[in-house]
Structure 1
Amino acid sequence: MTNANTLELKRITWISVVLLILSGFMWSQQKYFAELSVPNALIIHTGLETATIIIFTSVFIVCWNAFGNLRKLSSLILAVTFLSASIFGFFHAISFQGMPGFPAPVDMHKSLSFWLLSRYLISFTLLGLVLQTRDTDISEAYSKISVYFGLFLTIVTTIIIFNYPEILPTTYLAGVGQTEFKIQCEIVLVATNSLTALLFYRQIIATKNIDTEGHLKIKRSLLFFSATMMAISETYFSLYRLPDEIFVVIGHVFQVLSALAIYRGMVGITIHAPYSSLIQSTKDLQQAADDLLIHKQRLTGVIETAMDGIITINDQHQIILVNPAAASIFGYDVNDLMGASLDIVIPMRHRHVHGSHVNQFGERGTTRRKMGSRFDDYYVTGLHADGTEFPLEASISSLIENEKRFFTVIFRDISERKAAKEKMAQYHSELTQLSSALQSIREEERKHIARELHDDLGQLLAALRMDLSLLQRDQSMTDKSRTTVNSMDQLLLTSITTLRRIATDLRPRALDEGGLFFALQTLQKEFSQRHGVHCDLIADEEQLILDDERSTAIYRIIQESLTNVARHAKASHVDIQFERKQDELTFTIQDDGRGIEEGAMNKTRSFGLVGMRERIKAMQGDFKVRSEVGKGTQIQIRIPLDLPLSNLENTAIKLQ
């Protein structure tokens, strides 16, 4: 609770305590004060009652009219209550020995009946306010229905009391004063208002912030004072016997104080709170406007300084926004493009197709996508102001504003990138051809060297051994010479074996003489014998009937794979399995070794894998390596058989 609320509560509490003490003193001296009569009591009573009716009517007007659509449920209940209380108060004043200008039918029972109805309405409404601490919004239609219904019940009740006053127990007897029923009703009102005042006071003390969203927004301190004054006034109204006694005047004075406090308290709920909300809403709106302006300035700055071109068009493909970068890319000024058709920057042959594509993009409901047809470039063609065409990398987005669709294209000139990419592709193609040519040349050199070693050097060594064999038959040699000759024979045999192994490594004769199947069988046996690794070849001879180039490439791929297994895998078993379909050959090399660590396959020094990839690429095949540490490596290769190989022989001849 704020300092201002605390100070107000203290002030109201002191005033209430002083008035209670004064009332207590007067009540204790009621016999003396009962003898005092008020001259012109009718005029005074009428004036005070009229003031009360005017205040209650003002409460109704304030509660009903203040900020119409901001009306709360509490505001509606108060409006209906004080409208009915004002009507009942008016008829009470009429019936109370007449009013100036009206007949004077002396009918205190009717007057007090209207009095009790109005006070009970107000008292129990205040009690409801203190018990119901939360508030809700209410619609205009529901508000009107509630007021009309309350007015209807008030009129019906008034007619019944005027025509059938005996429906209520007698409240006043001439010469006797108030009846027991009337006094009991006043006691109930005193108790109700005292309870209401106590509950309001407890809420004020316990509530630190009564302006919490959704809570009832009322001036509880003023309503505490109002309930206190009503309790005091009802005490005085229960004491009088004759209408001109001073107790009636005192009760009316406290009643006016209570009505004024109610009015001030209701202003807090119907004007101050909505007005505060309106002020806060205005502040929030101003803050939002300031934030929007800052955001707009920032967005404008980003668009103006962006290196990429940005163009926004409407559904008629008319340019409505263009940044300096976009104008510079196309060779125009910004003013030249604003309001122009997008066709001005699109080549003639693409305009119709481009327009239909943009419209289809908007109709699909997609909000953004890259432009272009290929996933690896996404470029479209733009048109310079001088008529030259150039490539653009672009993306398009769309949004709907005021039921109109707008398209925004963000793009950049990729002429240099496209030229560099094409040059890189050319270099890559040339390197691939060079690699394939070198592979072919190397195979030819290997074949030539292997043939020379086998046919020439191998024949010479064989002839030399035959001559040495004839020399060994000479009986005239000494034992020392014979030992030397035998040693020479062993050296020649070792040399011939080594020569055959080297020749086979360079170019296995089985590949030329028996084909790929027999060459792989020989390779399998030699690998198992040399490295002690069990190797299975799962293939049919018919599957491996291929041309020389493919046979050589596949042999070298498997040879390199087995070499890698022997050097790095530490495997105990290798499977080589072939599967041939009509238009492709698939083979898998699987070992149970330690596998390849992540990233090792992409090392620049992995020449074995690089060579395998190049051979497979030359055959336009696919190459996949799957490896898991501790679970071995699997190489899967697919080679199409219905595609012609590159003419590498011509390339090799040119290089030679």
Structure 2
Amino acid sequence: MSGNLDYEKEIVAIILYTSCFLMVVAVCLVVFFYFSRKKIIQKEIEKRELEIHLHKQQLHAIIVTQEEERKRIAQDLHDDISSKLNIVSLNTHLLSAPNLTEDETKEITDNIINLTAKALENSRKIAHNLLPPVFEKFGLNAGIEELCEEFESSKSVKVKYKSEIDFDEKEIDRHLHVFRILQELMNNSLNHGKASEIWINFKNQNGINICNYKDNGVGFDSKNAENQKGLGMKNIDSRISFLNGTLEIDSEIGKGIAVIFSF
């Protein structure tokens, strides 16, 4: 009897120890999964906060771009249109002056006609810069071809443009950002880079549209972050962000610039 009792006690002890062990393991697993889940949730929260922060930065950059565009348009209207219309107004008042000779009247009238014609031409240019008619009617490829022709007409730069992409005309809103990016890059190449040649190439790699842009200008140190903080580059960054694309800039002093962006 004593032997059986001892045996039963051992069995009970084993069961108790096993139960305690399993309980400890269970508690450890619960704690482990709790903290693991908490860590995952925390990382997810941080990820969301980062996305929100980046989205806010993107919106801010877009707003800044829009405001600068408005300022530029307002300045163009003031400089090119308002000033000419003021002179037209003054000349119109001169016509009401007494004792004007026929030659004086003709001269004033000719001035009014010429100034009005120039004001109309400048207003067309401003409207063209807002949304080129060729781009709106025929799409990105035709818009870029016209842009290249306009730059080449200055006789100070040659532009070589090639596209292997058949652009979807339904994506005109996205393509307008691509067009503006190229406008900004080409203006920088001509005005700051003093380039005499520009190369633009579009291709599709694994379903992703890519633009390779190069010039032979004076270049700059692209490793210096300060060189990439100008308003023009901020505008490009904001447009690339809107397109969910990527941007790579490589430049050295005296070696021009190479830009690759996806969209």
Q: TM-score range by the shorter chain?
A: 0.5 to 0.7
Conserved in 2, the CA contact under 8 Å of 1:543 and 1:580? no
Structure with higher RCO (Cα < 8 A, 6+ apart): 2
C-alpha distance in 2 between matches for 1:534 and 1:618: 30
SS of the aligned residue for 1:382 comes to: helix
SS in structure 2 of the partner of residue 569 of structure 1: coil
1:431 matches 2:84: no
**SS of the residue aligned with 1:621?**
coil
Contact 1:536 1:574 in 2 (8 A): yes
Residue 391 in 1 paired to residue 54 in 2? no
**Equivalent residue number for residue 591 of structure 1:** 215
**In the comparison of the two structures, how many residue pairs are matched?**
219
Distance 1:340 1:429 in 2: 48
Q: State the distance in 2 between where 1:634 and 1:494 align.
A: 38
Q: Counterparts of 2:220 and 2:168 in 1: how far apart (Å)? A: 29
Give 1:382's match in structure 2, choosing from 23, 27, 35: 35
Q: Which amino acid aligns with 1:428?
A: L
Contact kept? 2:151, 2:157, Cα under 8 Å: yes
TM-score (norm 1): 0.29
1:56-93 alpha-carbon deviations (Å, 9 max, x no partner): xxxxxxxxxxxxxxxxxxxxxxxxxxxxxxxxxxxxxx
Match of 2:150 among 507, 523, 526: 526
- Conserved in 1, the CA contact under 8 Å of 2:222 and 2:249? no
Q: Which residue of 1 aligns with 2:30?
A: 348
Deviation at 1:598, TM superposition (A): 4.0
Q: Percent identity?
A: 21
Shift of 1:518: 2.1
In structure 2, C-alpha distance between the alignment counterparts of 1:503 and 1:617, rounded to whole Å: 26
1:585/1:511 Cα in 2 relative to 1: closer, same or farther (>3 Å)? same
What is the CA–CA distance in structure 2 between the aligned matches of 1:624 and 1:609, rounded to whole Å?
Answer: 12
- Say which SS state the counterpart of residue 427 (structure 1) adopts: helix
Which letter does structure 2 place at the counterpart of 1:432?
Q
Structure 1 571/421 Cα, relative in aligned 2: closer, same or farther at 3 Å?
same
List alignment gaps of at least 5 residues for structure 2.
Answer: 1-20, 93-100
SS at match of 1:578: strand
Cα 1:347/1:506, change in 2 over 3 Å: farther
The structure-2 alpha-carbon separation of the partners of 1:342 and 1:593, relative to structure 1 and needing over 3 Å to count, comes to farther
Which aligned segments of 4 or more residues in structure 1 are displaced greater than 6 angstroms? 339-342
Note if 1:510 corresponds to 2:134. Answer: yes
CA distance in 2, matches of 1:515, 1:545: 6
1:561 Cα deviation after fit: 0.7
Residue 243 (structure 2) aligns with:
619
Pairing partner for 1:536 from 149, 160, 179: 160
Larger Rg, first or second structure (1 or 2)? 1
Amino acid at match of 1:479: D
Kept after mapping to 1: 8 A contact 2:165/2:203: no
CA contact (8 A) 1:592 1:633 kept: yes
| Corresponding residue number in structure 2 for 1:607 | 231
SS at match of 2:220: coil
Q: How far apart, in 2, do the equivalents of 1:340 and 1:610 lie?
A: 60
Please identify which structure carries the higher helix content: 2
**Partners of 2:221 and 2:227 within 8 A in 1:** no
Equivalent position amino acid for 1:391 in 2 = K
Is the contact made by 2:222 and 2:228 (CA closer than 8 Å) also made in structure 1?
no
Corresponding residue SS for 2:39: strand
| CA distance in 2: counterparts of 1:484 and 1:347, whole angstroms | 94
Q: Secondary structure of the equivalent of 1:585? A: strand
Q: Give the alignment's Cα RMSD to 1 decimal.
A: 4.1
- Do the aligned partners of residues 433 and 341 (structure 1) sit closer, same or farther apart at CA in structure 2, a change above 3 Å counting? farther
Picking from 96, 107, 117, the partner of 1:483 is 107
Give TM-score scaled by structure 2 length. Answer: 0.66
